[in-house]
């Protein structure tokens, strides 16, 4: 039988590449990039290309499980759903709605987050709804809100071809978004555009840079301020743009005086001359596109890094025109959807805030519930949910498509917190994961290609990913699981759905008039197209590639804000006992906690063990040799790995990925055992990229 090809969208990173899925006799056998797709035009990276074995992986969840005498055993759906509904209702009765929390990864569809938000914030009355958007994009969202007045990413990928300068900071794009990086490299060849890279590690991305600034971790605000200093001092600013469309210029000019490159060179470790070169390249650029990622968002001063980067685009008028502006890539496939549907503790659907009485009123009216049902204060961020499990204020946690026992910082503390829950519900596609192992009930969800729903990508493109094959065994779509639990809890009238399309049709109603307006989107239209960029308010509307083309921003004065920010201190500074800074991040062959990629032998064989990058001078001082086992210790724990001695990392800094959880790699190899649960006060995003550690040869410690 010939292979039949169906269109879909990548379930891994938030770039949203168009894919063609090849099906033969009901099995998915091949996955290719979709030719002609506006995002990737046929290109694909290793992650989705090697996805097919996951549809037949042996640890795939095919039925729900329930804990019985300390063991998770298979049980029927009716029994497991009744158990969950009963436990949740009892906990609500005894401890109140605020004792229930939810945490989801951004691998799921927007429809699924819409339902959980409606259940938690509307029906139960708890705002403790969090998603991995907190671990990933909360700082970017707060950066946009403070500078532009809304979490509204303004640019699109087509700007790559229009830019003549790419400023890439804290973003190892060659590894994390390779398809976009190849697009940048090819655009640059055609146009002779330039690349500036800022990263403490000389990454695969940095290797392509015209100017590479090897900054000390956590010092980007000072660097951005020094660049602003030079732009202002040497007159590389767009006076007309600044006069009409921004506020805060005089304050910024005044405060940037104290950031001359000579001073900032000492803070960042980057030579003064290089800072001038970078600033002048930015000053002369016709169109600069900026990219940043977790080197900003998960680092000390995260939101301020975002603000000071936007200052550079605003000062030079690199905004609201082709090829110019901030282009933020989101981490997981639907992190943008999570942000807009309100899957964070301070948000309501359609980019609304729980603290805003008008927003609460609008949502309550839409859901046909009393406005008092929606709590007026933000719920707990995920780190504070774990604190709440420890203190007993949170009694129940429902986790969907996330593996927090491996992805949250300070693993032992997280595991202890999860174990204290009166009931821990985990909805995944695999068992065991580090988190399902701790659950009281495990719900068997369906994965990409086994269910239908929408993702929203980094350029605000909404795409439909349809069911292509039947799920294995008794697995149910995540939408169906949520509405079944909701009905079992007594919310029949509020959750009458039979399909994700019906959920979508409802959810889009609450986006009307907002930046995420999808009034003109429906499943049929998405079937025919390669996605639509939001807002798309009418059925004949072509979508919106760029925002703010009218130069009206969402702040009260209609202007974008130039914000003078100071370089922040890390939550945990190095000292004589813990003298190294630990950075954690990613490899090309694994995705996040590795629950999927570590089950694919081709990918796992590329990097089967945890590698720790160490500078040769540091290694020599400690007598560490290439390939030997080392132990990294922080105030919270120890992690083991294999030394890779390279001068691509800054001396005094060590780096490893976080892909090696205990369920797949054995104990003691997970970076988060040592990471710090401290977070940025403005975004509550944890500082995964900065904690103080010491290091030794493994055989001297054990």
Ligand X SMILES: Nc1nc2c(c(=O)[nH]1)N[C@H]1C(S)=C(S)[C@@H](COP(=O)(O)OP(=O)(O)OC[C@H]3O[C@@H](n4cnc5c(=O)[nH]c(N)nc54)[C@H](O)[C@@H]3O)O[C@H]1N2
Q: How far is the CB of 331 from Mo ion (least distance, A)?
A: 2
- Among residues 140 and 224, whose Cβ is nearest to ligand SF4? 140
Q: Is 13 in the site for Mo ion (CB under 5 A)?
A: no
Residue 179 binds to ligand SF4 (criterion: CB under 6 A): yes
Shortest Cβ 126–ligand SF4 spacing (Å): 33
DSSP-derived pairing of the beta strands 691-697 and 580-585? antiparallel
The two counts, helices (H) then strands (E), for the chain are 26, 28
Would you state the structure tokens that stand for residue 508, as one six-digit string?
Answer: 């889009």
Residue 431 makes CB contacts below 8 A (sequence gap 6+) with: 59, 61, 65, 72, 437, 442
- Min. distance of Cβ 275 from ligand SF4 in angstroms? 31
Q: Which residue has the tokens 């709590």?
A: 375
Binder of ligand SF4 out of 7, 8, 15, 55 (CB under 6 A): 15
Give burial (CB, 10 Å; 0-12/13-18/19+) of 154: buried
In sequence order, the 6+-apart residues with CB closer than 8 A to the CB of 88 are 100, 124, 396, 423, 485, 489
325 touches 111 (CB < 8 A): no
Cβ of residue 78: shortest distance to ligand SF4, in angstroms?
37
Residues that bind ligand X (CB under 6 A): 13, 47, 105, 107-108, 132, 135-136, 169-173, 175-176, 198-201, 203, 215, 217-218, 220, 293-295, 298-299, 331-332, 400-404, 407, 427-430, 433, 445, 447-448, 478, 583-586, 588, 590-593, 595-596, 658, 671-672, 675, 688-689
The CA distance from 208 to 158, in Å, is 21
In the complex with ligand SF4, the residue whose CB is nearer, 265 or 534, is 534
- Judged by beta carbon, residue 155 or residue 294, the one nearer ligand X is 294
User: Per CB under 5 A, does 136 bind Mo ion?
Assistant: yes
Helix (H) or strand (E) holding 180: helix 178-191
How far is the CA of 565 from the CAs of 148, 292, 302, 360, in angstroms?
A: 16, 17, 11, 32
331 binds Mo ion (CB under 5 A): yes
**Which region among 88-96, 172-180, 359-367, 654-662 touches ligand SF4 (by CB under 6 A)?**
172-180
Helices marked H in 392-535? 404-407, 411-420, 478-488, 500-509, 523-528
179 binds, among Mo ion, ligand X, ligand SF4, none (CB under 5 to 8 A by kind): ligand SF4
Q: How far apart, in whole angstroms, are the C-alpha atoms of residue 521 and residue 530?
A: 12
Distances in whole angstroms, Cα of residue 272 to Cα of each of 211, 532, 662: 13, 45, 44
Backbone angles phi, psi at 159, to 5 degrees: -65, -20
Query: Cα separation of 484 and 473, whole Å?
Result: 18
Residue 14 Cβ vs ligand SF4, minimum distance, rounded to whole Å: 7
Least gap, CB of 154 to ligand SF4 (angstroms): 21
Taking the least distance from each CB to ligand SF4, the nearer of 14 and 122 is 14
Identity of the residue, 179 or 394, whose beta carbon is nearer to ligand SF4 in the bound complex: 179
Nearest distance from C-beta of residue 203 to ligand SF4, angstroms: 16
**Residue 171 binds which entry of ligand X, Mo ion, ligand SF4, none, with Cβ cut-offs from 5 to 8 Å by kind?**
ligand X
Strand order across the beta sheet in which 18-24 lies: 4-9, 18-24, 27-33
Does position 17 interact with ligand SF4 (CB under 6 A)? The reply is: yes
> Does residue 12 touch ligand SF4 according to CB under 6 A?
yes
From the list ligand X, Mo ion, ligand SF4, none, pick the one residue 201 interacts with, judged by a Cβ distance below 5 to 8 Å according to partner type: ligand X
In whole angstroms, how close is the CB of 334 to Mo ion at the nearest point?
11
595 binds, among Mo ion, ligand SF4, ligand X, none (CB under 5 to 8 A by kind): ligand X
Interface with ligand SF4 includes 293 (CB under 6 A)?
no
CA distance 319 to 446: 41
Of 7, 10, 345, 665, the one binding ligand SF4 by CB under 6 A:
10
CB burial of 479-488 (b: ≥16 within 10 Å; e: otherwise) equals bbbbbbbbbb
In the shown chain, the binding pattern of residues 25 to 54 toward ligand SF4, with x for contact by CB under 6 A and - for none, equals ---------------x---xx-xx------
Nearest-angstrom CA–CA distance, 25 and 3:
8
Instruction: Kindly state whether residue 66 participates in binding ligand SF4, applying the rule CB under 6 A.
Output: no
Asked if 136 is part of the footprint of ligand SF4 (rule: CB under 6 A), the reply reads no
Name, in order, each residue with C-beta under 8 angstroms of 76's C-beta and a sequence gap of 6 or more. 64
Tell me how far, at minimum, the Cβ of 132 lies from Mo ion, in Å: 6
| 290 touches, from Mo ion, ligand SF4, ligand X, none (C-beta below 5 to 8 Å by class) | none
Residue 462 is a binding residue for ligand SF4 (CB under 6 A)? no
Beta carbon of residue 623, minimum distance to ligand X (angstroms, whole number): 25
Query: For residues 55 and 406, what is the distance between their CA atoms, to the nearest angstrom?
Result: 23
β-sheet with 423-428: strand ranges across? 71-74, 65-68, 441-444, 423-428, 396-400, 100-104, 129-131
Q: Which is nearer to ligand X, 407 or 684 (CB)?
A: 407
Q: Are 328 and 458 in contact (CB under 8 A)?
A: yes
Distance CA 304, CA 302 (A): 5
Q: What are phi and psi of 124, to 5 degrees?
A: -80, -40
Using the minimum distance from each CB to ligand X, give the nearer residue, 510 or 600.
Answer: 600
CB of 348 vs ligand SF4, minimal distance in Å: 28
Q: Are 537 and 512 in contact (CB under 8 A)?
A: yes
| Least distance between ligand SF4 and beta carbon 433 (Å) | 20
Q: Is 13 in the site for ligand SF4 (CB under 6 A)?
A: yes
| Residue 10 binding: pick among ligand X, Mo ion, ligand SF4, none (C-beta 5-8 Å cut-off by kind) | ligand SF4
Q: To the nearest whole angstrom, how small is the minimum distance from the Cβ of residue 493 to ligand X?
A: 26
Pairing outcome for strands 288-292 and 165-169: parallel
Shortest separation between residue 454's beta carbon and ligand X, angstroms: 13
Whichever of 308 and 402 has its CB closer to ligand X, that residue is 402
Q: Which residues bind Mo ion (CB under 5 A)?
A: 136, 331
Q: Which residues bind ligand SF4 (CB under 6 A)?
A: 10, 12-13, 15-17, 40, 44-45, 47-48, 177-179
């Amino acid at each position: 039988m010939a292979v039949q090809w169906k269109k879909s969208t990548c379930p891994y990173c938030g770039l949203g590449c168009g894919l063609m899925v090849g099906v033969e006799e009901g099995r998915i056998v091949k996955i290719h990039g979709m030719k002609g797709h506006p995002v990737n035009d046929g290109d694909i990276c290793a992650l989705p290309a090697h996805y097919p074995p996951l549809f037949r992986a042996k640890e795939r969840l095919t039925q729900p499980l329930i804990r019985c005498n300390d063991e998770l055993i298979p049980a029927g759906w009716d029994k497991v759903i009744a158990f969950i509904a009963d436990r949740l209702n009892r906990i609500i009765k005894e401890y109140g709605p605020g004792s229930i929390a939810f945490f989801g990864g951004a691998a799921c569809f927007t429809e699924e987050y819409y339902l959980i938000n409606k259940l938690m914030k509307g029906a139960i009355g708890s705002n403790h709804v969090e998603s991995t958007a907190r671990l990933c994009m909360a700082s970017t969202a707060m950066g946009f809100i403070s500078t532009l007045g809304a979490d509204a990413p303004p640019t699109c990928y087509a700007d790559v071809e229009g830019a003549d300068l790419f400023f890439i900071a804290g973003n190892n794009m060659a590894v994390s978004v390779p398809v976009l990086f190849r697009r940048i490299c090819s655009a640059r060849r055609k146009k002779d555009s330039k690349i500036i890279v800022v990263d403490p590690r000389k990454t695969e991305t940095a290797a392509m840079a015209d100017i590479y600034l090897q900054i000390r971790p956590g010092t980007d605000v000072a660097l951005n301020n020094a660049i602003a200093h030079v732009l202002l001092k040497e007159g590389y600013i767009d006076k007309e743009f600044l006069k009409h469309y921004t506020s805060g210029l005089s304050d910024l000019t005044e405060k940037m005086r104290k950031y001359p490159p000579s001073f900032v060179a000492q803070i960042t470790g980057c030579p003064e001359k290089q800072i001038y070169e970078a600033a002048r390249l930015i000053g002369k650029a016709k169109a600069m596109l900026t990219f940043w990622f977790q080197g900003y968002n998960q680092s000390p001063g995260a939101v301020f890094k975002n603000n000071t980067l936007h200052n550079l685009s605003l000062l030079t008028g690199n905004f609201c025109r082709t090829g110019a502006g901030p282009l933020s890539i989101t981490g997981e496939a639907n992190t943008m959807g999570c942000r807009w549907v309100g899957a964070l503790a301070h948000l309501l659907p359609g980019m609304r805030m729980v603290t805003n009485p008008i927003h609460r009123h609008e949502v309550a009216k839409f859901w046909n519930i009393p406005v008092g049902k929606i709590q007026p204060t933000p719920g707990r961020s995920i780190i504070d949910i774990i604190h709440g499990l420890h203190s007993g204020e949170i009694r129940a946690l429902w986790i969907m498509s996330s593996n927090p026992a491996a992805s949250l910082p300070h693993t032992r503390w997280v595991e202890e917190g999860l174990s204290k829950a009166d009931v821990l519900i985990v909805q995944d596609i695999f068992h065991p994961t580090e988190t399902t192992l701790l659950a009281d009930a495990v719900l068997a969800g369906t994965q990409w290609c086994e269910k239908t729903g929408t993702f929203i990508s980094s350029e605000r493109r909404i795409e439909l990913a349809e069911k292509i094959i039947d799920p294995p065994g008794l697995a149910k779509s995540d939408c169906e699981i949520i509405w079944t639990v909701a009905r079992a809890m007594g919310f029949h009238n509020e959750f009458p759905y039979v399909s994700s399309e019906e959920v979508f049709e409802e959810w889009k109603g609450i986006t009307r008039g907002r930046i995420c307006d999808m009034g003109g989107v429906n499943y049929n239209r998405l079937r025919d197209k390669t996605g639509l960029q939001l807002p798309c308010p009418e059925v004949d509307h072509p979508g919106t590639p760029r925002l703010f083309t009218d130069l009206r921003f969402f702040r009260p004065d209609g202007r974008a804000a130039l914000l003078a920010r100071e370089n922040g201190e890390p939550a945990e500074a190095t000292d004589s006992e813990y003298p190294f800074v630990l950075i954690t991040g990613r490899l090309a062959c694994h995705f996040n906690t590795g629950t999927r990629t570590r089950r694919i032998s081709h990918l796992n064989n590329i990097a089967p063990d945890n590698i720790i990058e160490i500078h040769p001078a540091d290694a020599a001082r400690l007598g560490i040799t290439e390939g030997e086992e080392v132990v990294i210790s922080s105030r919270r724990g120890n992690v083991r790995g294999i030394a890779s001695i390279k001068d691509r990392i800054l001396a005094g800094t060590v780096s490893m990925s976080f892909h090696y959880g205990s369920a797949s790699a054995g104990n003691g190899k997970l970076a988060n055992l040592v990471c710090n649960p401290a977070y940025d006060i403005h975004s509550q995003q944890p500082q995964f990229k900065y904690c103080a550690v010491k290091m030794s040869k493994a055989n001297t410690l054990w």
